[in-house]
Structure 1
């Protein structure tokens, strides 16, 4: 079995290439440790939206809509306000609706810690230390370390993301993966044949600024398309469908995640997430660009500023010196 892990040049930047079994993946430390490409060559499945014609600068300018970026913090903060148990921070408003959007970790150039092979596993590790050397530190003076481990094995990509609070302050803990899945994800597939299954619970109402009103909406036949796996996630506009996460089922077994199926071939892309992820938000950039984003979030949109209890909003913090790790897996089936 072919298993390799190495660094390669990508148009002047260094990437990590991992190969294990039928899988090949490219990790872009220069673009926030983004999984910029992952494919199962035997099944002709290309999982994430990617474009080999783009330069590193172009990828960095569109970091949220290619590959699998990791966001700290998730989604929006109303008016840029971030309220913690011991401070109030004011982030710049960078979306048209008057909020702060997506944080900054995915926009940084991360460091490669190691590249190695362990049996049939190809492993890449990256990191980023956020401190006073970062241009954003005057806005948000809470130092931390982010560590990523990407382990490609014959059963898919095992992803680990650890945040460690290096400061003497309480650190808000909210993470999200802004995954951009291709639709279709095979070379001969059609968008109308893609179906998405998401284990949706309560549906959250959003106001005109895409901030939760903290009210739940009735579940409709539209929402049930996610739950029963009949939602076509492209070719129509899906704009911030927000739900509390529940347990899914895959091949008759409990599965905490989502999966997309090409109904013409039965091929699947599966995304299993950590139970830290309490919410799913769906978005597809108007649905006409061949990709869709089922995004798991550990806290609700604007959680630091919502009035609900933490067990409802997902808001939590890391104490000084505390760490937390999220573990996920991306794999394919036929």
Structure 2
């Protein structure tokens, strides 16, 4: 282990954090702020991949953490009237999006997680975190299941790896609905401008959304620009986006978003594997600076949509069972 390979506890401004360093890479995760991975950087190339708050923005971050770093959404996105019935049980969530009358983004954004372990060796620097929901936990009132979510982040020569596990500790089945509101800088390189960037994403079909931003169950034809998302790419800020898509594997059998800096000649790859069947993508009304390609297990509002499971991808996690997936960030030379 060298001086560049380490894991340690040190505040991120005024927030407790675990920091990872491995070779040129640096990352930080905030256990008391929803296990949000708030930073992923290449310190040699001066790349800052994720949107981070400044020192004087920490209160703003805590009030709206969903637009920084990699927040955990469980359950993800919107649920009509804050309620749904699944497997004979009715779930009722607070309506926290007044404009639509929906529940939005679940209960883990400001939750407190345990740091189970962290360390470093010649292969990686890592941190493992978890949160367990059981009777008496505030989240149990809305999701009355006994379950654990584990997150492991590691840095290595292959970039940043995220490993997530959801385990059902209870005696009845539970719905497994998860996404990450990943917030990526464009530009991520010092000296580059938003105009230097284009991205591709493994989309397939676009879901039609109603005036409440809920899927109608129908698909919309892709615009010519959206077709470019599947081939040569286009600007992340080509028009305001709050769009929902099914995902399709690339030639390597993976689901991924790739963001290219043409000035640097480098591509950031966000490989989310094959477990996330849907994407949301949001770009803050086409405001240059950052955008959010969000890998999502299931269709938005899935339990309320009258479609078969193979289309909604709504998962059932049986007692004692585990769902898991990995995602990775890495850089490669631009084609």
Match among 213, 216, 219 for residue 216 of structure 2: 213
Looking at structure 1, the residues matched to 194 and 55 of structure 2 have their Cα atoms a distance apart, in angstroms, of: 22
The question of whether the paired residues in 2 share the 8 Å contact of 1:11 and 1:55 is answered with no
Q: CA deviation at 1:287?
A: 2.2
Residues 47-196 of structure 1 aligned to structure 2 (within 5 Å)? 47-54=49-56, 56-95=58-97, 96-196=99-199
| TM-score normalized with structure 2 length | 0.94
Q: Hey, what does 1:35 align to over in structure 2? A: 37
TM-superposition CA deviations, 1:110-133 (whole Å, max 9, x none): 111111113230010111111233
Give the direction of change, closer, same or farther, for the CA distance of 1:136–1:255 in structure 2 (3 Å limit).
Answer: closer
- Secondary structure at 2:135's aligned position in 1? coil
Find the aligned partners of 2:137 and 2:61 in 1 and give their Cα distance: 20
Shift, 1:158, TM fit: 0.9
Aligned residues: 330
- What are the Cα deviations for residues 165-215 of structure 1, in whole angstroms up to 9, with x where unaligned? 122232111110100000111111111221110111111100101111111
Distance 1:149 1:162, change over 3 A: same
Does 2:18 match 1:6?
no
Q: SS at 1:285's partner residue?
A: coil
Cα deviation, residue 63, structure 1: 1.4
Per the alignment, do residues 167 and 56 of structure 1 end up closer, same or farther by CA in structure 2, a change over 3 Å counting?
Answer: farther
SS at match of 1:149: strand
The answer for the alignment partner of 2:206 in structure 1 is 203
Q: TM-score, normalised by structure 1?
A: 0.94
Distance 1:11 1:156 in 2: 24
Q: Secondary structure at the match of 2:161?
A: strand
Distance in structure 2 (CA, Å) of the matches to 1:121 and 1:179: 22
Q: Residue deviations 1:38-96, cap 9 Å, x none?
A: 01122221100012314654322111100011211111111111321131111111112
**Where do 4+ consecutive residues of structure 1 move more than 3 Å?**
54-58
* RMSD of aligned residue pairs (Cα, Å): 1.6
Deviation at 1:312, TM superposition (A): 0.6
Unaligned runs of 5+ in 2: none
**Alignment partners' CA distance in 2, 1:47 and 1:13:** 20
CA drift of 1:9 comes to 2.0
The equivalences for 1:218-257 within 5 A come to 218-234=221-237, 236-238=239-241, 240-249=242-251, 253-257=252-256
CA distance in 1, matches of 2:115, 2:81: 35
Per the TM alignment, residue 11 of structure 1 is displaced from its structure 2 partner at its CA by: 3.7
Structure 1 residues without counterparts, runs of 5 or longer: none
Q: 1:235: Cα distance to partner? A: 6.5
Separation in 1, partners of 2:325, 2:41: 22
